[in-house]
Amino acid sequence: MKQFGSLGAFAVELLALRIVTEKALEHGLEVAARKVEATAKAEIGRYQDEIGPFPAWAELAESTKEDRVRQGFTENDPLLRSGELLHSISHETKGRQAVIGSTSEVAVDQEFGTAKMPPRPFMGPAVERNHEVIRTLVGTAAVQGLRGNAQIHQSLGYDHKV
């Protein structure tokens, strides 16, 4: 156990641990945000199964398939035409906050559906598919911060490097 010569030395140690913990958490969140972004991008262009509260993607309507072909796109790659939606997905982290999403105007309609189109969610399922990885990454970052970036014994199950 670490010994401190004074309350001031103990206070300095606590402050240092807080700083290390914050940095480790920020880094773990950045890694998790990158993972969710990559998964969301991978959802585009192929049918998705149901996961958590998110429904499986419905087959494209025959009229949609015909329209896609008429416009020079592949017949049956849902949400993928020009790549605009795919390339609009990004993330931003600041401190202990992350925003992962799309700047595309069609993203919300695709995610939640409309009166004429069933939902084809890709952001929510990306988080759901990474739930365990996110938990492990953030947990690892928190434990590393509390331990001052010291090695964590592998038997504790924190197997993701952050």
pLDDT tens column, 121-154:
999 999 999 998 888 887 777 777 666 666 666 6
- What is the crossing angle of helices 131-146 and 7-43, to 10°? 160
86 has a pLDDT exceeding 90? yes
Q: How far is CA 12 from CA 8, 19, 65, in A?
A: 6, 11, 65
Q: Does the predicted TM-score (pTM) go above 0.85?
A: no
Q: How far is CA 137 from CA 45, 132, 148, 162, in A?
A: 28, 9, 16, 7
pLDDT tens column, 99-112:
999 999 999 999 99
Name the burial class of residue 101, with classes exposed (0-12), middle (13-18) and buried (19+) by CB atoms within 10 angstroms of its CB. middle
Beta strands in the chain (DSSP E): 89-94, 97-102
Residue 162 pLDDT class (50, 70, 90 cuts) = very low
Residue range 96-101: average pLDDT?
92
Handedness of CA 70, 76, 78, 81 (dihedral sign): negative
DSSP three-state, residue 97: strand
Delimit the domains of the chain by residue range.
21-156
User: Please, where are the H alpha helices in 44-130?
Assistant: 62-70, 84-87, 107-112, 123-129
